[in-house]
């Protein structure tokens, strides 16, 4: 295959993949008899046209940074974690239990505790498929998918039969104490002059960015990160170098699950203030697209998360103001995964042809 | 549990195992040729929506079935182009196509019928009706065997028998024809097949397209026989359960039949909380029963598979030597 310059591989390939996905999405919108230009316009205005729209875009991006990092960490160990959705839901359960049953003096302490609770619950939910893969050889892709369904049922049961306050019809927990409410961008000095309307984006955004830096440190600056990446490149070589496969698989999955679970501080603690059914709204699955789009690098994940924050908020606006259902978001997600993850060689081949002609 | 209840359970086992079996055989063809297919779920879903929609518009279940198979073939072709032609990651391609199906089915069904992403209820010729096998009525009075034949074996839609027939056909194609030998070889050692002057790409595409046809039938069965119309996300993870069954069956056709019957039985149990409660004398919450097929899938994969050795070249794109 023709070699292409590194800058083209890092910059051009994702952009062209994204353009191809956008063209296909436009085709789908045309096919159902709607106007793609109007849809794009609605998305841009709704998600980026106002500080209010940005408040939602950043809110979704916060969740996607967490789930994108989750997929990224697992990917570096050669593990495909499709269970981010379930891990995020169980992480939400962790947040709810920590905040409902233990009193905390201040929202900062509560945030720290909720983060730990979410991470612990997510980690446990991911550790089981990891352990089964390492010890019993169960295919991690299938097990994590099954755990998504099991998590869904578990949450339904917890919300309907266990955590629902007496006399409440809706399957949800009680509200967390108001003092645990996370400051939104509107409440933060300086930023409050930009975000004048109440927006859902909250301080979790900064936790997400910190997590991003921490994952970069872990993967590229620590012995454990080295072992994870070595294992992902070649299991047999890693084994020969004395790396314990069971340990790496389980630990990597736990870190991955913890990151997916941590998104719950954003939606459960920050936004809804209680645990609702299907709280993660597919963000766990979006993490796959975010990781692929971000080329499995923590900093790429931030950019890709912003992009998907835009698509998600824009998609919601499209669902609200046009005849196109909100499920357009899932189509976009599928197309981005297809073009950036599975058809990336096609894009590289096309670029290779282009660069060869220029070199000749 | 009395005999009549058991027969009811087995009856729904057969009905619920059918889409699993078809999808499992689809995965069998694909994976034996060295192409992993996480996208069984998406192919079933797009086929279910298309067949439900077309059957509703045309009033003919046969046109619906053909349209469903066609839609599934489009998905199979995309998977082939991504993972065979452009040597992309097969798992990622499958996941992407599943999301694509999940979104597009709702978009199209909503645009066509405006019923919240569902297709209109089917009846009459737009659905597969139950078929009574010969002598079922006559033998009904025979003790034990008669009711078994009448309730469990007879009285299913045509596609159930198509699925059952697909098992020996699959076995024959894979293990008694030249095509099958080559197909299995391409999943074990594609370089050897290539050296013999046979096209690896063409064989893998053939396998992927056969998988498309089988998933198409499975999806059409979901929308036009098991249910009367398409509903959002109606396949509910069956494509993945079929993959688990495929591993449990160690990539063998007859074992696939038994494995999918077992998983079908789990699903049938989940639909009968009353029976489970009576037999176990425990008050099991409904969500726990709904999770049962998925939990048992995990347990089966974790505990009872033993050594399952997948086709050696599975998941690896083939790069021709230069």
Quick check: is A193 in a domain?
A: yes
Q: Cβ B297–A146 below 8 Å, yes or no? A: yes
Quick check: is A200 in a domain?
A: yes
Number of domains in chain B: 1
Quick check: is A8 in a domain?
A: no
Cβ contact A197:A186 at 8 Å: yes
pLDDT digits (tens, 9 = 90+) for A317-342: 999 999 999 999 999 999 999 998 88
When CB atoms are compared, the residue of B87, B103, B287 closest to A156 is B287
- Measure the CA–CA gap between A316 and A311, rounded to whole angstroms: 8
**Is the CB of residue A220 less than 8 Å away from at least one CB of chain B?**
no
pLDDT digits (tens, 9 = 90+) for A281-321: 889 999 999 999 898 999 999 999 999 999 999 999 999 99
Q: What's the rounded mean pLDDT across residues B87-96?
A: 91
Write A46-49 long-range contacts (CB < 8 A, 24+): A46/A313, A46/A314, A46/A316, A46/A317, A46/A318, A46/A320, A46/A321, A47/A309, A47/A310, A47/A311, A47/A313, A47/A314, A47/A317, A48/A310
Quick check: is A160 in a domain?
A: yes
What ipTM does this complex have?
Answer: 0.91
**CB < 8 Å to B87, chain A:** 345
**Straight-line distance from the first to the last Cα atom of chain A, in angstroms, rounded to the nearest whole number:** 16
When CB atoms are compared, the residue of B38, B111, B295 closest to A32 is B111
**CB < 8 Å to B303, chain A:** 136
Cβ contact B25:B170 at 8 Å: yes
pLDDT of residue A2: 54
Quick check: is B302 in a domain?
A: no
Cβ contact A86:A261 at 8 Å: no
**Would you tell me how many other CB atoms lie within 10 Å of the CB of residue A284?**
31
Cβ contact B209:B161 at 8 Å: no
Tokens of A255: 């870190």
When CB atoms are compared, the residue of B243, B288, B302 closest to A136 is B302
Quick check: is B183 in a domain?
A: yes
Cβ contact A297:A212 at 8 Å: no
Give yes or no for residue A226 having a pLDDT over 90: yes
- Measure the CA–CA gap between A83 and A261, rounded to whole angstroms: 11
Give the residue, B136 or A247, on which the prediction is more confident.
Answer: A247
Measure A76 CA to nearest chain B CA, in Å.
15
Q: What's the rounded mean pLDDT across residues B149-166?
A: 91
Domain that holds residue A239: 62-302
Quick check: is A93 in a domain?
A: yes
Cβ contact B18:B226 at 8 Å: yes
Residues 106-145 of A with CB under 8 A from B: 132, 136-139, 141-143, 145
Quick check: is B257 in a domain?
A: no
**Is the CB of residue A153 less than 8 Å away from at least one CB of chain B?**
yes
Mean pLDDT, chain A, rounded, equals 92
Q: Cβ B103–A330 below 8 Å, yes or no? A: yes
Q: Report phi then psi at A276, rounded to 5.
A: -110, 165
3-state SS, one letter per residue, for chain B: CCHHHHHHHHHHHHHHHHHHHHHHHHHHHHHHCCCCCCCHHHHHHHHHHHHHHHHHHHCCHHHHHHHHHHHHHHHHHHHHHHHHHCCCCHHHHHHHHHHHHHHHHHHHHHHHHCCCCCCCCCCHHHCCCEECCCCCCHHHHCCCHHHHHHHHHCCEEHHHHHHHHHHHHHHHHHHHCHHHHHHHHHHHCHHHHHHCCCCHHHHHHHHHHHHHHHHHHHHHHHHHHHCCCCCCCCCCCHHHHHHHHHHHCCCCHHHHHHHHHHHHHHHHHHCCHHHHHHHHCCCCCHHHHHHHHHHHHHHHHHHHCCCCCCCCCCCCCCCCCC
pTM of the model: 0.91
Give yes or no for residue B307 having a pLDDT over 70: no
Chain B residue with the nearest C-alpha to that of A324: B107
Quick check: is B71 in a domain?
A: yes
pLDDT of residue A175: 93
Interface test with A, best of B41, B45, B96 (most A CBs within 10 A): B96
**CB < 8 Å to B83, chain A:** 342
| Residue linked to tokens 């159902």 | A32
pLDDT of residue B306: 67
pLDDT of residue A335: 95
pLDDT digits (tens, 9 = 90+) for B240-285: 999 989 988 989 999 999 999 999 998 998 888 888 888 878 778 8
pLDDT digits (tens, 9 = 90+) for A2-57: 577 888 888 888 889 999 999 999 999 999 999 999 999 999 999 999 999 999 99
Domain that holds residue B60: 3-127+143-239
Tokens of A155: 């949450």
Under the banding of pLDDT at 50, 70 and 90, the label for residue B305 is: low
Cβ contact A164:A171 at 8 Å: yes
Under the banding of pLDDT at 50, 70 and 90, the label for residue A139 is: confident
Quick check: is A107 in a domain?
A: yes
pLDDT of residue A354: 84
**Is the CB of residue A48 less than 8 Å away from at least one CB of chain B?**
no
Give yes or no for residue B199 having a pLDDT over 80: yes
Give CA torsion, residues B174, B175, B181, B185, to 10 deg: 80
Under the banding of pLDDT at 50, 70 and 90, the label for residue A360 is: low
**CB < 8 Å to A346, chain B:** 82, 86, 88
Q: What's the rounded mean pLDDT across residues B184-188?
A: 94
When CB atoms are compared, the residue of A161, A323, A330 closest to B285 is A161
Under the banding of pLDDT at 50, 70 and 90, the label for residue B28 is: very high
Q: CA angle A200-A205-A206, nearest 5°?
A: 140
Q: Cβ B100–A331 below 8 Å, yes or no? A: yes
Quick check: is B304 in a domain?
A: no
pLDDT of residue B158: 94
Q: CA angle A83-B262-B215, nearest 5°?
A: 65
When CB atoms are compared, the residue of B38, B97, B288 closest to A157 is B288
Task: State the DSSP code for A295.
Answer: T
pLDDT of residue B61: 94
**CB < 8 Å to A286, chain B:** none
Quick check: is A222 in a domain?
A: yes
Mean pLDDT, chain B, rounded, equals 91
Pairs of residues, one from chain A and one from chain B, whose beta carbons lie less than 8 Å apart? 152
Measure A216 CA to nearest chain B CA, in Å.
23
Q: CA angle A145-A151-A152, nearest 5°?
A: 100
Q: Cβ A153–B244 below 8 Å, yes or no? A: no
Quick check: is A38 in a domain?
A: no
Q: Cβ A153–B100 below 8 Å, yes or no? A: no
- Measure the CA–CA gap between B106 and B141, rounded to whole angstroms: 47
pLDDT of residue A250: 97
Give yes or no for residue B164 having a pLDDT over 70: yes
Q: Cβ A346–B285 below 8 Å, yes or no? A: no
Write B177-182 long-range contacts (CB < 8 A, 24+): B179/B206
Give yes or no for residue B304 having a pLDDT over 70: no
Q: Cβ A342–B237 below 8 Å, yes or no? A: no
Q: Cβ A150–B291 below 8 Å, yes or no? A: yes
Q: Cβ A136–B89 below 8 Å, yes or no? A: no
Q: What's the rounded mean pLDDT across residues B169-180?
A: 96
Q: Is B235 exposed, middle or buried (0-12, 13-18, 19+ CB in 10 A)?
A: buried
Q: What's the rounded mean pLDDT across residues B21-46?
A: 96
Number of domains in chain A: 1
Measure B189 CA to nearest chain A CA, in Å.
20
When CB atoms are compared, the residue of B96, B240, B291 closest to A142 is B240
Residues 278-307 of A with CB under 8 A from B: 285, 288, 292
């Amino acid at each position: 295959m023709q070699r292409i310059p590194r800058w083209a591989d890092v910059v051009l390939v994702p952009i062209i993949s994204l353009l191809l996905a956008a063209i296909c999405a436009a085709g789908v919108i045309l096919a159902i008899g709607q106007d793609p230009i109007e849809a794009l316009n609605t998305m841009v205005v709704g998600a980026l046209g106002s500080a209010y729209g940005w408040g939602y875009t950043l809110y979704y991006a916060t969740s996607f940074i967490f789930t994108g990092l989750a997929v990224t960490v697992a990917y570096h160990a050669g593990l495909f974690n499709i269970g981010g959705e379930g891990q995020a839901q169980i992480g939400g359960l962790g947040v709810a239990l920590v905040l409902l049953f233990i009193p905390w003096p201040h929202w900062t302490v509560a945030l720290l505790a909720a983060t730990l609770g979410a991470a612990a619950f997510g980690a446990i939910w991911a550790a089981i498929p990891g352990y089964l893969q390492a010890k019993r050889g169960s295919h991690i892709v299938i097990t994590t998918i099954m755990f998504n369904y099991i998590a869904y049922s578990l949450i339904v049961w917890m919300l309907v039969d266990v955590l629902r306050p007496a006399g409440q019809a809706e399957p949800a927990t009680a509200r967390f104490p108001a003092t645990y409410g996370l400051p939104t961008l509107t409440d933060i000095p300086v930023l409050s002059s930009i975000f004048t309307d109440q927006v859902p984006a909250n301080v979790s955004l900064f936790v997400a960015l910190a997590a991003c830096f921490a994952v970069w440190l872990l993967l590229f600056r620590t012995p454990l990160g080295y072992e994870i990446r070595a294992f992902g490149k070649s299991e047999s070589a890693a084994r020969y170098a004395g790396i314990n496969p069971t340990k790496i698989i389980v630990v990597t999955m736990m870190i991955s699950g913890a990151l997916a679970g941590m998104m719950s501080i954003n939606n459960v603690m920050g936004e809804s203030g209680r645990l609702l059914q299907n709280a993660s709204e597919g963000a766990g699955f979006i993490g796959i697209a975010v990781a692929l789009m971000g080329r499995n690098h923590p900093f790429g994940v931030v950019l890709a998360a912003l992009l998907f924050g835009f698509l998600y908020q824009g998609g919601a606006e499209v669902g609200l103001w046009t005849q196109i259902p909100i499920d357009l978001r899932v189509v976009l997600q599928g197309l981005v995964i297809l073009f950036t993850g599975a058809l990336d060689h096609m894009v590289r081949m096309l670029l290779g042809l282009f660069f060869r002609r220029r070199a000749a | 549990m009395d005999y009549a209840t058991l027969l009811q359970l087995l009856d729904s086992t057969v009905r619920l195992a059918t889409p699993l079996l078809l999808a499992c055989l689809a995965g069998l063809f694909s994976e034996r040729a060295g192409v992993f297919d996480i996208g069984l779920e998406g192919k079933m879903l797009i086929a279910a929506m298309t067949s439900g929609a077309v059957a509703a518009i045309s009033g003919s279940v046969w046109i619906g079935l053909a349209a469903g198979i066609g839609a599934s073939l489009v998905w199979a072709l995309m998977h082939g182009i991504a993972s065979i032609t452009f040597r992309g990651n097969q798992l990622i391609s499958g996941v992407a196509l599943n999301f694509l199906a999940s979104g597009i089915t709702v978009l199209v069904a909503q645009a066509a019928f405006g019923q919240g992403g569902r297709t209109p209820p089917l009846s009459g010729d737009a659905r597969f009706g139950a078929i009574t096998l010969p002598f079922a009525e006559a033998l009904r009075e025979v003790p034990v065997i008669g009711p078994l034949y009448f309730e469990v074996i007879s009285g299913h839609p045509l596609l159930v028998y198509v699925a059952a027939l697909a098992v020996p056909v699959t076995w024959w194609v894979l293990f008694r024809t030249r095509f099958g030998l080559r197909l299995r070889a391409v999943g074990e050692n594609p370089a050897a097949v290539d050296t013999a002057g046979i096209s690896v790409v063409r064989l893998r595409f053939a396998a992927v397209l056969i998988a498309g046809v089988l998933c198409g039938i499975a999806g059409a069965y979901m929308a036009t026989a098991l249910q009367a119309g398409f509903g959002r996300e109606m396949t509910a993870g069956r494509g993945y359960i079929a993959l688990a069954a495929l591993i449990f069956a160690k990539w063998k056709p007859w074992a696939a039949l038994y494995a999918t019957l077992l998983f079908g039985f789990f699903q049938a149990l989940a639909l009968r909380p009353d029976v489970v409660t009576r037999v176990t004398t425990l008050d099991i919450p409904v969500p726990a029963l709904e999770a049962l097929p998925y939990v048992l899938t995990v347990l089966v994969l974790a505990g009872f598979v033993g050594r399952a050795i997948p086709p050696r070249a599975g998941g690896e794109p083939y790069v021709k030597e230069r």
